[in-house]
Amino acid sequence: MFATVVKNDLVSKRIEKKLKDRLSIGETNTPKIVFCIGGDGTILRAIHKYSDILDDIIIFGIHTGHLGFFMDFNEKNLDNMIDSVINESFEVHGFNIAEAELKTKNKTFTYFALNEFQLIKVDRVIVLDVYIDDKKFETFRGTGLCFSTPGGSTGMNRSLGGAIVDPDLHSIQLTELASINSNAYRTIGSSLILGRDRTLHLKPEAPIDVDFCYDHLTMNIRGMIEFSCSLSDRKVRIAYNKNNPFFERVKQAFL
């Protein structure tokens, strides 16, 4: 009982056809296995599409572009992957998601992310008090803040100068986007990697309008009064290829 989420390109569609031709099990709206064909972004689309049944699905990522961080299979090892599905002999790695609560005067929204959350304002500086658990840490002034999971650390977080984190090191990383540091304003300046039991809170002085990004999705929030997030115990389960360990992938991608 499977479903596919496929990037809109010819190679990905060709592989989808090959896969469906070989699989005898049927397609469904409530899959146990979701084949994602494309890039890491395709996995993000799949987990948000199947957010209601996230705990019940196993993702198989087949990448058709360059290397994917969550995607361990490709056209070359497709047949082996299909055999492992049929024989139920695959191995699965759980990637912890992050969960967030965002409050406006009248509403509380909850979100999850496999990669990261970002609060951004491009046209004006945002001012946010940053709390680690219940203690005020700093007042941030700048363009935004990024909260990345270990699995997401190789994405936007890395482009912001954050550290690459071993996916098994349960933590959440806070990275700045263009903080203003002067005699008047000061932030820590480096990224912070916090243990899984920590919760980060952001409080503006008065309600603010911000762009809120969770993975590939963006919402414009009007009148945010508080934001908090932490690493969750919930995991996205992704099948992996034993021959391609995480730091080999890091090497192949970035060195």
Sign of CA dihedral 57, 74, 170, 110: negative
Interacting residue with ligand NAP among 68, 162, 167, 204 (CB under 6 A)? 68
Residue nearest to Mn ion (CB): 41
For residue 148 the two structure tokens come to 């990345």
Residue 159 belongs to what H/E stretch?
Answer: helix 156-159
Interacting residue with ligand NAP among 3, 6, 36, 44 (CB under 6 A)? 44
Q: How far is the CB of 191 from ligand NAP (least distance, A)?
A: 14
Q: Which is nearer to ligand NAP, 221 or 236 (CB)?
A: 236
**Contacts (CB under 6 A) with ligand NAP, residues 77-136:** 115-116
Query: Is residue 46 classed as helix, strand or coil in its secondary structure?
Result: helix
Q: Is 152 in the site for ligand NAP (CB under 6 A)?
A: yes
Q: Is 150 in the site for Mn ion (CB under 5 A)?
A: no
**Contacts (CB under 5 A) with Mn ion, residues 35-64:** 39, 41
Q: Are 227 and 103 in contact (CB under 8 A)?
A: yes
Query: Residues near 98 by Cβ (< 8 Å), separated by ≥ 6?
Result: 112, 113, 116, 117, 147, 148, 149, 172, 229, 230, 231, 232
Buried b (16+ CB within 10 A) or exposed e, 138-155: bebbbbbbbbbbbbbbbb
How many residues belong to the site for Mn ion (CB under 5 A)? 2
Which of ligand NAP, Mn ion, none does residue 216 bind to, with CB < 5 to 8 Å depending on kind?
ligand NAP
Distance CA 107, CA 222 (A): 11
How many residues belong to the site for ligand NAP (CB under 6 A)? 17
Distance CA 8, CA 244 (A): 26
Q: How far is the CB of 142 from Mn ion (least distance, A)?
A: 26
Catalytic residue annotation: 40
Q: Which is nearer to ligand NAP, 46 or 85 (CB)?
A: 46
Give, as one character, the DSSP assignment of residue 255. -
Q: Which is nearer to ligand NAP, 190 or 252 (CB)?
A: 252
Q: Which is nearer to Mn ion, 72 or 176 (CB)?
A: 72
